[in-house]
Amino acid sequence: MKSSTRDNVEGKLHQAKGKIKESVGKLFKNRDLEAEGTVENLDGKVQEKVGQLKKVVDDL
């Protein structure tokens, strides 16, 4: 698997996990878990963008 594809997949997984943590944190009024989910979600978005950039560079 290309590193760009791996970054895209891992980024989406982190986003999904982050959204789940955010939701659970909100549901149980756990600010730490909610914040952790927000950070993981953002990390996933960044990782996905890195994968997209790698793909563009590979296509050049």
What pLDDT shows up at residue 59? 85
What is the structure's pLDDT at 50? 96
When the pLDDT of each residue in the chain is averaged and rounded to a whole number, the result is 96
Question: What would the mean pLDDT of 41-46 be, rounded to a whole number?
Answer: 98
The reported pLDDT for the residue numbered 26 is 98
The domain spans of the chain are: 3-59
**Cα 45 to Cα 53: distance, rounded to the nearest angstrom:** 12
3-state DSSP helix/strand/coil % of the chain, to nearest 5: 90, 0, 10
Average the pLDDT over 32-60 and give the result.
Answer: 96
User: For the segment 10-32, what is each residue's pLDDT rounded down to a tens digit?
Assistant: 999 999 999 999 999 999 999 99
Q: Which residue has the tokens 């563009």?
A: 56
In the predicted structure, residue 36 carries a pLDDT above the cut 90: yes
Q: How buried is residue 39: exposed, middle or buried, by Cβ count under 10 Å (0-12/13-18/19+)? A: middle
